[in-house]
Amino acid sequence: MVVKIILALVIIVNAAFLFTFVRDLLKHRGLTMKEPGNPIAMAISSFVIFLLSTFGISDFAISSSLYPKAKWVSAEKLPGTLNTQCVIPVAVMALCYISSIEVGLATLIVAIAGQVIGSYVSPRFVVKLPANTIKKFVSAGLLVAACMILANKFNVYPSGGEATALTGFKLILFAVLCFVYGALNNIGIGSYALTMATVYALGLNPGVAFPIMMGACTFSVPVGSMQFVKYDGYSRKLTLFASTFGVIGVLIAVFVVKSMNTSILQWVVVVVILYSAVTMLLSTRKAKQADDAGAKENK
């Protein structure tokens, strides 16, 4: 019964985002396809990104590395795009994979509520951030993603415990952290790995990590993304391609490929995102130096 209620709510919340997104597309139908980016390249990349995401390779990390290099989206709209593009593919993942909820209901509700509130509050501030500040946050997100992948490769993660629910101080701490993760998600720092590490560190059974991560994300991301749509802080074109070809990638992963050895690919991803993080930080340094030089000339 609980699973059916959760899945029904997933459909309702994500349908609300889809309605908001389609209405915005129709309002700007003459501008969407004029946004930067080759449609064929976007279709292929969206398919691959979310096929890999289904197997646990962060779509935030890959997209943050690819999009600035391809010049498909500005730094200001990158955080919003990272969120809006993954709403529908992640909803499809949730509907395909959440077949049982073994975690305590109070713990799951706290995780969802914390991330939803954090994701709702933060977009109105994110869209006002300067490009260089956003680049620094996205670089930090890439470094966090790389560290999490490496921690997993070297078994540095806490092993978790046997608990399926949190109570008392741990539940309060978890609520605060979920709020922070929901807010960070909107700046380009993905919440998946952070939530998983927290679940393990607090002594929960690793088996409950997935419904908590997926449940919190599939509710919080659409809520935050609707705010990015409202403030025009995202790429409509990338979101459109991800919402179509990305979903195809998820369905192929779930029903056709089913399993994939991603060990070598994870090393490649680590190298790529570390390179992207460093180059993005260097670009912010050059921009600051150029601004400083310009300020001196104006004096």
Residue 56, sorted as left (phi over 0), alpha (psi -120 to 50) or beta, turns out to be: left
Q: CA-based Rg of the chain, rounded to a whole angstrom?
A: 19
Q: Has residue 294 been placed in a domain?
A: no
pLDDT in tens, 185-208: 888 777 777 887 888 888 888 777
pLDDT at 143: 86
Task: Give, in order, the Cα–Cα distances in Å from 256 to each of 46, 80, 90, 250.
Answer: 17, 31, 18, 10
pLDDT at 292: 59
28 vs 124 pLDDT, higher one: 28
pLDDT at 295 over 60: no
Q: Has residue 296 been placed in a domain?
A: no
pLDDT at 63: 92
Let me know: does 7 contact 98? Beta carbons within 8 Å: yes
Range of the domain at 224: 2-286
Residue type at 235 in one-letter notation: S
Alpha helices of 122-208 — where are they, by DSSP H? 123-126, 131-153, 168-185, 191-201
- Average pLDDT for 240-245: 96
Q: Kindly report the pTM of this predicted structure.
A: 0.84
pLDDT at 279 over 70: yes
pLDDT at 287: 66
pLDDT at 275: 85
Q: Has residue 291 been placed in a domain?
A: no
pLDDT in tens, 26-79: 999 889 989 999 999 999 999 999 999 888 788 888 998 899 989 999 989 999
Q: Has residue 47 been placed in a domain?
A: yes
Q: Has residue 298 been placed in a domain?
A: no
- Whole-number Å distance between alpha carbons of 17 and 152: 33
- Average pLDDT for 231-241: 95
- Which candidate, 160, 179, 226, places its Cα nearest to that of 24? 226
Burial of 195 (0-12, 13-18, 19+ CB in 10 A): buried
Q: Has residue 234 been placed in a domain?
A: yes
pLDDT in tens, 164-192: 889 999 999 999 999 998 888 888 777 77
- Phi, psi for residue 231 in degrees, rounded to 5: -95, 10
Q: Has residue 299 been placed in a domain?
A: no
Q: How many domains does the chain have?
A: 1
Q: What is the mean pLDDT of the chain?
A: 86
- Average pLDDT for 73-95: 92
- Which candidate, 128, 127, 129, places its Cα nearest to that of 84? 127
pLDDT at 290: 61
